[in-house]
């Protein structure tokens, strides 16, 4: 076997039959995500120990190990499963880049320079739309560009390109990638395969058809609101039902998946909670509200800044901490200055270890336009922070509890309601203490021992 380090590109519950089994004796050890150097493409030889005949062998398939919530979940789970004695392989189906630390006992397979890279990256709705509306005069590459040059200009050429050439070349590329992935999986001969995110899920189900392996796929967002290109939406509805198990990280997402997946194939797969051993907290000079996440339109940070502009005058001395990076950083900083709150907002960028800052904050605010089960919110709750979340998607609302026992729920896109909730929570310390206890309680379902029991059961590795 071979060992390599590589990755891809982009950054930061079930029915009674799926109850978590008893904790096993083997302790779980999660690694806090940290920056790791890139490695050469493809698999590289290493000193992997021989695998016992009776060890379970798993394959994770994911687009990349760049910054992102699904990527953190995959790495945390992979490291914990290896600690339990699983022979684990991770197949990356895109560009070679890596920002998370994988246990060296994991075999990582990355595409080489001549391998078929996944050409349509998993992206949130806004980033996908921005890609589609980029400068159309930019040169195209490959056979599609050549075909367009040969066609006559005008509406006819556009119609042929859109309705004939693009689907043909998409299908050809999908076939190549499917065959490549199928070959990788066949060579590993795993007991089970688990994939992450919509497009990689589609690819994995197609690649494992007819193979004697248990195929589990994982939705990590809100399928009601996260939209992909029409061909991807069509394939998802057609292909997902062919998987052995279709999972989601919120019960509300499972309900949405019932529209095109048989209910008996659906299962809740909780995000394993990865907490560092350290309990260090940063020293802050002012009471601080915090949000952690990628600076993209999905996160609704423009709404948060508008809410903060309304709340800040009522909270003298308080500050808002923005942790994360992304394409909208410049726009958001400009918006903060325009709203008159530039001096009370701290921009921390991406932090490889945000926990000391999170522990020092008073509460967490999440104004997302859609979510699965956000790791940042879950980790903040495990640090004892109450939350304020939008009601756009079921995942964050589930974490707040039916009676808002862990935090406050506000209408999505509503800066006034968010501002009111911020002032209420900032001004009422007994309320924060009560919600803090609820946050800790709700986070326990995602603790490593509990969550990994569900993963092992669904992957038939008990």
Say if residue 200 is in the same domain as residue 110.
yes
CA distances (Å), origin 455, targets 24, 109, 111, 239? 13, 22, 27, 22
Task: Give the confidence band of 34 by pLDDT, cuts at 50, 70, 90.
Answer: very low
Enter the pTM of the model: 0.74
Say if residue 301 is in the same domain as residue 355.
yes
Question: Which is nearest to 62 in space by CA: 11, 102, 131, 7?
Answer: 7
Nearest 5°: phi and psi at 73?
-60, -45
Say if residue 118 is in the same domain as residue 40.
yes
Judge whether 335 lies within some domain: yes
Judge whether 154 lies within some domain: no
Question: Which is nearest to 83 in space by CA: 106, 66, 99, 101?
Answer: 106
Sequence-ordered list of residues with C-beta below 8 angstroms from that of 431, at least 6 positions apart, any chain: 386, 424, 425
Cβ–Cβ contacts within 10 Å for residue 284, how many?
15
- Report pLDDT for 274: 77
- For 391-411, how does the pLDDT look when each residue is reduced to its tens digit (9 = 90+)? 988 889 999 988 899 999 999
Say if residue 384 is in the same domain as residue 300.
yes
pLDDT exceeds cutoff 90 at 226: no
Judge whether 2 lies within some domain: no
What is the secondary structure of 5-40 as a DSSP string?
-----------GGGPPPPPPSSPP-PPPP-------
Sequence-ordered list of residues with C-beta below 8 angstroms from that of 53, at least 6 positions apart, any chain: none
- For 344-389, how does the pLDDT look when each residue is reduced to its tens digit (9 = 90+)? 999 999 898 899 999 999 999 999 998 888 889 999 999 999 999 9
pLDDT exceeds cutoff 60 at 428: yes
Sequence-ordered list of residues with C-beta below 8 angstroms from that of 451, at least 6 positions apart, any chain: 20, 270, 271, 272, 273, 445
Say if residue 188 is in the same domain as residue 299.
no
What is the secondary structure of 227-259 as a DSSP string?
---HHHHHHHHHHGGGSSEEEESSHHHHHHHTT
| Residue 409 DSSP class | E
Q: Lowest-confidence range among 10-19, 294-303, 358-367?
A: 10-19
Say if residue 441 is in the same domain as residue 452.
no
Judge whether 106 lies within some domain: yes
Q: For the chain, how many structural domains are there in total? A: 2
Question: Which is nearest to 79 in space by CA: 141, 44, 40, 36?
Answer: 36
- Report pLDDT for 283: 94
Note down the domain range covering 408. 288-446
Say if residue 355 is in the same domain as residue 218.
no
Say if residue 427 is in the same domain as residue 454.
no
Say if residue 266 is in the same domain as residue 395.
no
Judge whether 216 lies within some domain: yes
Mean pLDDT comparison of 94-98, 249-253, 410-414, highest-scoring range: 410-414
Judge whether 11 lies within some domain: no
Say if residue 425 is in the same domain as residue 452.
no
**Cβ(80)–Cβ(272) below 8 Å:** yes
The rounded percent of the chain whose pLDDT value lies above 70 is 74
Judge whether 296 lies within some domain: yes
Judge whether 324 lies within some domain: yes
Say how far apart CA 110 and CA 8 lie, in whole Å: 8
Say if residue 381 is in the same domain as residue 452.
no
**Cβ(389)–Cβ(377) below 8 Å:** yes
- For 42-89, how does the pLDDT look when each residue is reduced to its tens digit (9 = 90+)? 454 333 444 456 789 999 999 999 878 889 899 999 999 999 999 999
Say how far apart CA 175 and CA 206 lie, in whole Å: 9
- Report pLDDT for 114: 57
Say if residue 292 is in the same domain as residue 259.
no
Between 137 and 101, the more confident residue is 101
Q: Average pLDDT of the chain?
A: 80
What CATH number is associated with residue 25? 3.40.50.2000
Q: Distance between terminal CA atoms of the chain?
A: 24
Q: Is 118 helix (H, G, I), strand (E, B) or coil?
A: coil
């Amino acid at each position: 076997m071979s060992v390599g380090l590589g990755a891809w590109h982009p950054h930061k519950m079930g029915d009674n039959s799926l109850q978590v089994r008893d904790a096993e004796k083997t302790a779980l050890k999660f690694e806090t995500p940290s920056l790791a150097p890139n490695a050469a493409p493809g698999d590289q030889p290493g000193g992997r120990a021989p695998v016992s005949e009776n060890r379970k062998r798993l394959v994770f398939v994911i687009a990349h190990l760049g910054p992102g919530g699904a990527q953190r979940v995959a790495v945390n789970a992979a490291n914990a499963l290896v600690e339990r004695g699983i022979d684990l392989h991770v197949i990356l189906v895109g560009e070679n880049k890596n920002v998370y630390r994988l246990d060296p006992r994991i075999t990582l397979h990355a595409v080489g320079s001549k391998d078929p890279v996944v050409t349509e990256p998993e992206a949130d709705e806004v980033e996908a739309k921005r890609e589609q509306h980029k400068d159309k005069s930019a040169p195209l590459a490959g056979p599609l560009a050549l075909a367009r040059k040969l066609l006559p200009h005008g509406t006819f050429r556009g119609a042929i390109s859109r309705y004939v050439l693009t689907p043909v070349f998409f299908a050809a590329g999908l076939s190549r990638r499917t065959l490549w992935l199928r070959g990788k999986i066949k060579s590993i001969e795993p007991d089970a395969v688990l994939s992450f995110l919509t497009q990689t899920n589609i690819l994995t189900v197609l690649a494992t058809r007819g193979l004697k392996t248990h195929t589990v796929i994982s939705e990590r967002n809100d399928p009601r609101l996260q939209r992909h290109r029409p061909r991807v939406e069509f394939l998802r509805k057609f292909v997902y039902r062919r998987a052995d198990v279709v999972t989601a990280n919120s019960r509300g997402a499972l309900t949405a998946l019932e529209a095109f997946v048989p209910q008996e194939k659906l299962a809740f797969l909780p995000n394993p909670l990865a907490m560092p051993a350290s309990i260090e907290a940063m020293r802050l000079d002012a009471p601080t509200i915090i949000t952690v996440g990628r600076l993209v339109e999905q996160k609704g940070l423009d709404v948060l800044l508008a809410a903060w502009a309304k709340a800040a005058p009522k909270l003298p001395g308080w500050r808002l901490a923005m942790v994360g990076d992304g394409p909208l950083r410049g726009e958001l900083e400009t918006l903060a200055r325009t709203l008159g709150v530039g001096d009370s907002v701290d921009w921390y960028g991406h932090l490889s270890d945000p926990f000391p800052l999170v522990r020092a904050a008073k509460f967490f605010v999440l104004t997302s336009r859609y979510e699965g089960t956000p790791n940042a919110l879950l980790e903040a709750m495990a640090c004892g922070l109450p939350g304020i979340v939008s009601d756009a998607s079921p995942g964050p609302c589930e974490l707040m509890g039916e009676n808002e026992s862990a935090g406050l729920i506000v209408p999505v896109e509503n800066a006034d309601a968010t501002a009111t909730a911020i002032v209420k929570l900032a001004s009422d310390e007994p309320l924060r203490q009560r919600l803090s206890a609820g946050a800790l309680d709700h986070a326990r379902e995602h603790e490593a021992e509990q969550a990994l029991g569900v993963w092992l059961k669904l992957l038939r590795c008990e």
